[in-house]
Amino acid sequence: MYLENRISEEIVEAVKDLYGKDLPLEQVQVRPTRKEFDGEFTVVVFPLTKMAGKSPEQTGTDLGNKLMESGELISEFQVVKGFLNLTLKPEVWTKFLSDALFKADYGFESPESKGTVVVEYSSPNTNKPLHLGHLRNNFLGYSVAEILKAAGHKVKKVQIINDRGIHICKSMVAWQKFGEGETPEQAGIKGDHLVGKYYVEFDKVYKAEVAEGIAEGKTKEEAEAESSIMKEARTVLQKWEAGDAEVYALWEKMNGWVYSGFDSTYKRMGVDFDKLYYESDTWVLGKDVALEGVQKGIFTRREDGSVWADLTADGMDEKLLLRKDGTAVYMTQDLGTAILRYRDFPGLTKMVYTVGNEQEYHFKVLFSLLQKLGYPWAADCHHLSYGMVELPQGKMKSREGTVVDADDLMEEMVQTAGSITRELGKLESLSEAEKNDLYEMIGMAALKYFLLKVDPRKGMMFNPEESVDFNGHTGPFIQYGHARTCALRRKYGSEVSSEVPEVELERVERQLLTKLYYFQKTVRDAAEAYNPALLANYIFELVKDFNTFYGRVSVMQADSEELKLFRMQLVTLTGRVVKSGMGLLGINVPDQM
């Protein structure tokens, strides 16, 4: 950041002039001044007292006076214990504002100036519809991808669709036994919901069979092993992997229903993908890799035919790669997928997996296996681990049908947004179609922002009512702030130029300028940490600072045309940054609310 760098350089020169000591530039600590103090930037003086041989207060005073002498940056300073608070000259902020207004993509790095990153997210199973947990996953992965783009990376958004395995076989068996040929059109529901219905039905029958077996005196393990419906599912899986035409045709039909349902859900979510991978394709490569590992002595084939990797020397356990019947497991598929992606995207520098924290061990094992297989890029794989979203009644369980459906929740959020917005009024000038578009925008902003404002590593409780509070830490609060900037621009009546006049600055104007200045750094920090919450919370604080500015000074009734123009330029840049920042979160902002 150029202002911090300039301050740091002047501190280094001041230390040399005052005390005859060479201070390494990287040891200068410059940070934003806390709001309760005057100034915009603060230099931490404590580390410099040994060089000065003076108290922190005297060292800070010496440095402040020296910076004032240079006459380029600082107009005032204040020493508070071991902290030197600096107020910049108005012309410094004038240049910043002019430069930022001139750049249409202020805050963003040059496109594709950095390495290629693959970001995986969503990656659902084709045996059930998407739920609340998938919403956090999709919003998080999509936002990370957009933030990485803004930070200069070339980004590819991908997902692996888990379209094979015992889970889809369960739905297939249940549909065959109980479905009577039912289709999504006949049932009047989306295809993913229909398939999910039979997944739940399978689990009910399976549990009943296990309970019956236990009642007959069998152990739980024996009852599970002897469940007839589970045996049918395993047989279907074996037939699928053997290429059975009838099983394959049913699998294609039911997965087709699911994909159609997923597509409409993704469209409403506002997420997209550059490339889709299917487990039904990648498991074959993964199986070949596992067998190749056996030949090289990296993996072991046991007497029953199963293939294992021994990771005990690395602090993990033994990991199954192929079952005794030769069928593949999730790990096998993930090995094949990782290798395929590095073939598909030459020059790939990072691969990010957006998957819940219950899979942390899985990815630790995956990356270790890739390293053992001799793939050096395994060190560039990153698990973007995130906490689960819980409900007041506890964790969601797909098999029991106790999940919060993503489609239902999105619709509920939009309906709630409509009710609240209608109560607030001020939409008389909008048509019904425009109002409905606005309700959609507000409802989805409430949902996305609530899920993204929390650090991904933390679990969270979803509160729909709190998420739509127009006065709280919410997406609608930020949207309303953006709409206010648009209203001021409409009143102003013309586009503002990037020719910024020299004016005396109010404290609230300096605070807003400082916040706007940190947009680029926030984008960069969010990209490096794969953490959209840093950006989400920054935008919230920016809108709060803007509201303070709006409440303390007059824009349209400013004392002079120069001051009016300057404040409109502040309003314009604020609106632009809010729109850009929310866009990186996948959230649209309206011009009127």
CATH number, domain at 71? 3.30.1360.70
pLDDT at residue 110, as a whole number: 96
Spatial distance between the Cα atoms of 251 and 234, rounded to a whole number of angstroms? 14
Spatial distance between the Cα atoms of 445 and 474, rounded to a whole number of angstroms? 8
Coil, strand or helix at 268: helix
CA geometry: angle at 69 spanning 67 and 70, to 5°?
70
In this structure, are residues 482 and 589 in contact, taking their beta carbons and an 8 Å threshold?
yes
Residue 30 sits in the same domain as residue 133: no
Per-residue pLDDT of the chain (593 residues; tens, 9 = 90+): 789 999 999 999 999 999 999 999 999 999 999 999 999 999 999 999 999 999 999 999 999 999 999 878 999 999 999 999 999 999 999 999 999 999 999 999 999 999 999 999 999 999 999 999 999 999 999 999 999 999 999 999 999 999 988 999 999 999 999 999 999 999 999 999 999 999 999 999 999 999 999 999 999 999 999 999 999 999 999 999 899 999 999 999 999 999 999 999 999 999 999 999 999 899 899 999 999 999 999 999 999 999 999 999 999 999 999 999 888 888 999 999 999 999 999 889 999 999 999 999 999 999 999 999 999 999 999 999 999 998 665 544 444 445 789 999 999 999 999 999 888 877 888 899 999 999 999 999 999 999 999 999 999 988 888 999 999 999 999 999 999 999 999 999 998 988 999 999 999 999 999 999 999 999 999 999 999 999 999 999 999 999 999 999 999 999 999 999 999 999 999 999 999 999 999 999 999 98
Per-residue exposure over 290-328, b if at least 16 CB sit within 10 Å of its own CB, e if not = bbebbeeebbebeeeebbbbebeeeeeeebbbbbeeebb
Sign of CA dihedral 85, 89, 92, 95: positive
Residue 386 sits in the same domain as residue 411: no
Residue 549 sits in the same domain as residue 421: yes
| DSSP-assigned beta bridge partners for residue 355 | 385
In this structure, are residues 85 and 39 in contact, taking their beta carbons and an 8 Å threshold?
yes
Residue 162 sits in the same domain as residue 222: yes
Residue in 406, 402, 470, 462 with CA at minimum distance from that of residue 442? 470
Residue with tokens 């000591």: 21
Structure tokens at 149: 């783009």
Q: Is position 8 within any domain?
A: yes
In this structure, are residues 556 and 492 in contact, taking their beta carbons and an 8 Å threshold?
yes
Spatial distance between the Cα atoms of 338 and 279, rounded to a whole number of angstroms? 11
CA geometry: angle at 561 spanning 558 and 567, to 5°?
55
Greatest distance between any 2 Cα atoms in the chain:
92
Structure tokens at 17: 């002039």
Residue 198 sits in the same domain as residue 317: yes
Spatial distance between the Cα atoms of 16 and 190, rounded to a whole number of angstroms? 72
Among candidate residues 88, 112, 132, the one where a domain is terminated: 88
Among candidate residues 332, 357, 390, the one where a domain is terminated: 390
pLDDT at residue 393, as a whole number: 59
pLDDT at residue 402, as a whole number: 55
- Tell me the pairing of strands 41-44 and 30-32: antiparallel
pLDDT at residue 462, as a whole number: 87
Q: Is position 227 within any domain?
A: yes
In this structure, are residues 407 and 414 in contact, taking their beta carbons and an 8 Å threshold?
no
Spatial distance between the Cα atoms of 179 and 181, rounded to a whole number of angstroms? 5
Q: Is position 322 within any domain?
A: yes
CA geometry: angle at 379 spanning 376 and 385, to 5°?
150
- Tell me the pairing of strands 389-390 and 300-301: unpaired
pLDDT at residue 400, as a whole number: 47
pLDDT at residue 264, as a whole number: 96
Q: Give, for 96, the enclosing helix (H) or strand (E).
A: helix 90-102
Residue 411 sits in the same domain as residue 374: no
Residues 6+ apart with CB under 8 A from 162: 123, 124, 125, 126, 279, 330, 333
Per-residue exposure over 31-61, b if at least 16 CB sit within 10 Å of its own CB, e if not = ebbeeeeebbbbbbbeebbebbebebbebbb
pLDDT at residue 392, as a whole number: 66
Rg from Cα positions in the chain: 29
Q: Is position 592 within any domain?
A: no
| DSSP-assigned beta bridge partners for residue 460 | 389
Spatial distance between the Cα atoms of 121 and 146, rounded to a whole number of angstroms? 13
In this structure, are residues 396 and 403 in contact, taking their beta carbons and an 8 Å threshold?
yes
Q: Is position 367 within any domain?
A: yes
Residue 25 sits in the same domain as residue 131: no
The identity of residue 309, as a single letter, is A
Residue 362 sits in the same domain as residue 441: no
Residue in 186, 184, 94, 169 with CA at minimum distance from that of residue 505? 94
Q: How many domains are there within the chain?
A: 3
Residue in 307, 282, 310 with CA at minimum distance from that of residue 292? 307
Q: Is position 188 within any domain?
A: yes
Spatial distance between the Cα atoms of 514 and 503, rounded to a whole number of angstroms? 16
Among candidate residues 364, 390, 416, the one where a domain is terminated: 390
Residue 238 sits in the same domain as residue 315: yes
The identity of residue 71, as a single letter, is G
Residues 6+ apart with CB under 8 A from 547: 481, 484
- Which residue segment(s) compose the domain that 210 sits in? 121-390
Q: Is position 162 within any domain?
A: yes
Helices 360-372 and 330-344: crossing angle in degrees, nearest 10, is 60
CA geometry: angle at 563 spanning 559 and 566, to 5°?
160
Residue 194 sits in the same domain as residue 312: yes
Q: Is position 206 within any domain?
A: yes
List of E strands, 164-317: 275-278, 300-301, 307-310
Residue 132: burial class (beta carbons within 10 Å; 0-12, 13-18, 19+): buried
Domain containing residue 171: CATH number: 3.40.50.620
Residues in the chain, how many? 593
Spatial distance between the Cα atoms of 120 and 385, rounded to a whole number of angstroms? 12
Residue 151 sits in the same domain as residue 272: yes
Structure tokens at 152: 């200069």
pLDDT at residue 396, as a whole number: 41
pLDDT at residue 401, as a whole number: 47
Residue 38 sits in the same domain as residue 186: no
